């Protein structure tokens, strides 16, 4: 079983200082929602975020307002054969130390705006759907606590400033251990906090350039599948079924 954590992901509600900004008000009116219930998104709120950055350059906005990164990663990994086999657990940890727990059987909206709508609902209600068996649940939780509770046998973080390794070699370490946890940054710029890197047993860089996080996530899952020979196992099952289903 592989646990994949999108660490320090750029997901949060619009902060109070931006609630009155025209870019936020306009979107809130369009959507018929209170400004503070919207998810911060640089593609809509760029001018407001730039204004806050200029007012106070110490405000770290470079890691904020990119929920699209989690969207792309989740589509890649939740649709994977590994997840379909029940061998993948996926969590989204955010820069505000919240953790979104995801039922592996969820079918996420394929449309980005609908995904953001789902996040807004999640932040409002705490779970979606509400009730005993939510598909998404959000809680306050640090990354350290999440990794501890996952009882990780090995924690591997992927970062451009890690030790250079091929993805195949990094993943063969994972398949050799019972409960590996992988950390992939759910942000576009900057690096992991020290509190994140100190959790990791290994930090690997898998290319000479920064790649999109969803490319790294998809490759981790695929190499892990290959390491456990999952593609062949699944084809054998399918071939068997096809053979058995042939009319006699
Ligand atoms: C767009 S990158 C953030 C770039 C950041 N400068 C960094 O150091 O990783 C988002 C995430 O993708 C993964 N990533 C991107 N390029 C990578 C690479 N060459 N090696 C390992 N991980 C990478 C990392 O997990 C990273 O946190």
Q: What is the average per-residue pLDDT within 111-127?
A: 97
Query: Best of 213, 215, 217, 219 to mutate for ligand 1, by most ligand atoms within 8 A of CB?
Result: 213
Nearest CA to ligand 1 atom 8: 160
Q: What 3 state SS string does 52-67 have? A: HHHHCCCCCCCCCCCH
Query: Best of 210, 220, 223 to mutate for ligand 1, by most ligand atoms within 8 A of CB?
Result: 210
What share of the chain has pLDDT > 90, as a percent?
88
Q: Which atom of ligand 1 is nearest to the CA of 185?
A: 27
Q: What is the pLDDT of residues 189-227, one digit of tens each?
A: 889 999 999 999 999 999 999 999 999 999 999 999 999
pLDDT of residue 248: 47
Question: What tokens appear for 223 in the block?
Answer: 């190499």
Q: What is the average per-residue pLDDT within 175-183?
A: 96
Q: Which atom of ligand 1 is nearest to the CA of 192?
A: 27
CA distance 105 to 134: 11
Q: Which residues line ligand 1 (CB under 6 A)?
A: 158-162, 184-185, 187-188, 191, 205-207, 210-211, 213, 216
Global pTM value = 0.94
Q: What is the average per-residue pLDDT within 220-235?
A: 97
Longest dimension (CA), the chain: 76
């Amino acid at each position: 079983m592989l646990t994949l954590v999108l660490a320090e992901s750029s997901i949060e509600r619009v902060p109070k200082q931006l609630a009155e900004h025209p870019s936020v008000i306009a979107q809130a009116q369009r959507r018929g929602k209170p400004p503070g219930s919207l998810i911060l998104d640089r593609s809509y709120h760029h001018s407001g975020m730039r204004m806050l950055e200029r007012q106070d350059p110490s405000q770290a906005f470079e890691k904020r307002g990119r929920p699209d990164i989690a969207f792309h990663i989740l589509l890649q990994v939740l649709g994977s054969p590994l997840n379909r086999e029940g061998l993948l657990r996926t969590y989204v940890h955010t820069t505000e130390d919240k953790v979104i727990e995801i039922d592996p059987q969820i079918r996420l909206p394929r449309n980005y705006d609908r995904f953001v709508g789902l996040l807004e609902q999640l932040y409002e209600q705490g779970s979606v759907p509400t009730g005993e068996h939510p598909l998404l649940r959000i809680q306050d939780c640090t990354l350290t606590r999440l990794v501890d509770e996952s009882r990780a046998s090995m924690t591997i973080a992927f970062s451009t400033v890690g030790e250079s390794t091929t993805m195949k070699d990094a993943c063969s370490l994972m398949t050799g251990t019972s409960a590996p946890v992988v950390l992939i940054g759910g942000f576009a710029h900057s690096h992991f906090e020290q509190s994140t890197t100190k959790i990791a047993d290994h930090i690997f860089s898998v290319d000479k350039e920064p790649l999109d996080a969803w490319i790294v996530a998809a490759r981790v899952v695929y190499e892990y599948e290959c390491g456990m020979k999952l593609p062949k196992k699944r084809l054998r099952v399918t071939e068997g079924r096809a053979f058995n289903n042939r009319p006699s």
